[in-house]
């Protein structure tokens, strides 16, 4: 009882309004793993200029933090999420590089607790109703649904809306140009994310113009 009350007092820290304003800017969020630091700014710029202004840079590569710093400096109008955050220590690194929000693939009690105290809002990753209920208890109302396709996709999200209709999601994992629409049509989906905006072959070829065109096509098709 005491624990629950102290958590409830901190509910505003979970920053639902802030997450909503970020997600409203982007029906599609590119999920990016920067392999070569020199790609960071031109790649992010191509996506941004193509019309995708919210970018998730994952901590899956050695140069990720440096990449986020550089992108943040070069594109101050973009909203930068730090993805694949697994621990509170990585969450703190995201605060230090000046990101706008944090995304986690799954959740731990430690992350849920840390997120409530952090100045940076978190989009916690959930795949089940139980994970969602745990996040809900901590005050989280906005979630990443991951891995979306493997965890039941559109049907699972429709089912989540039964017991917890106020929760909103950004599904990622197995989403592409052909099924994004099915997700975006759901009332409890704010936006979708995925790596399909940064095809490996185009990044390796440094074909930023092709990535800009792809981003533009996606932005024109899915944005409000």
Site for ligand 3PG in 153-182 (CB under 6 A): 172-175
d(CA 216, CA 141): 30
Of 76 and 120, CB closest to ligand 3PG: 120
User: Which window, 12-20, 39-47, 94-102, 191-199, contacts ligand 3PG (CB under 6 A)?
Assistant: 191-199
72 binds ligand 3PG (CB under 6 A): no
Of 2 and 178, CB closest to ligand 3PG: 178
* Residues annotated as catalytic (active site), given as ranges: 56, 144
193 binds ligand 3PG (CB under 6 A): yes
Q: What is the 3-state secondary structure (H, E, C) of 159-219?
A: HHCCCCCCCEEEECCCCCCCCHHHHHCCCCECCEEEHHHCCHHHHHCCCHHHHHHHHHHHH
User: Least CB distance from residue 4 to ligand 3PG, whole Å?
Assistant: 31
Q: What is the DSSP letter of 85?
A: -
Measured at the alpha carbon of residue 153, what is the angle toward residues 58 and 32, in degrees to the nearest 5? 15
Of 83 and 121, CB closest to ligand 3PG: 83
Cα→Cα distances 3→115, 126, 163, 184, 194, Å: 16, 22, 24, 37, 36
Give the x-and-dash track for 97-136 against ligand 3PG (CB under 6 A). Answer: --------x-------------------------------
Residue 186 sits at φ, ψ, to 5 deg, of -80, 145
31 binds ligand 3PG (CB under 6 A): yes
Radius of gyration of the chain (CA): 17
Two tokens, residue 177: 């140009």
Residue of 30, 135, 139, 194 interacting with ligand 3PG (CB under 6 A): 194
Binding site for ligand 3PG (CB under 6 A): 31, 83, 105, 146, 172-175, 193-196
């Amino acid at each position: 009882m005491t624990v629950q009350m102290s958590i409830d007092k901190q509910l505003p820290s979970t920053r639902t309004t802030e997450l909503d304003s970020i997600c409203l800017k982007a029906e599609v969020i590119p999920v990016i793993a920067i392999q070569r630091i020199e790609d960071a700014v031109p790649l992010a710029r191509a996506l941004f200029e193509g019309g995708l202004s919210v970018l998730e840079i994952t901590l899956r590569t050695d140069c990720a933090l440096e990449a986020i710093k550089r992108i943040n400096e070069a594109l101050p109008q973009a909203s930068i999420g730090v993805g694949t955050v697994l621990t509170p220590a990585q969450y703190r690194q995201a605060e230090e590089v000046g990101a706008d929000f944090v995304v986690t693939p799954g959740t731990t009690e430690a992350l849920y607790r840390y997120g409530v105290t952090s100045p940076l809002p978190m989009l916690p990753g959930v795949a089940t109703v139980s994970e969602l209920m745990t996040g809900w208890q901590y005050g989280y109302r906005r979630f990443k649904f991951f891995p979306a396709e493997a965890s039941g996709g559109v049907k699972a999200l429709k089912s989540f809306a039964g017991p917890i209709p106020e929760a909103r999601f950004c599904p990622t994992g197995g989403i592409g140009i052909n099924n994004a629409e099915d997700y975006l049509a759901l009332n409890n989906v704010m936006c979708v994310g995925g790596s399909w905006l940064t095809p490996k072959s185009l990044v390796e070829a440094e074909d930023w113009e092709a990535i800009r065109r792809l981003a533009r096509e996606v932005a024109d098709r899915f944005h409000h």
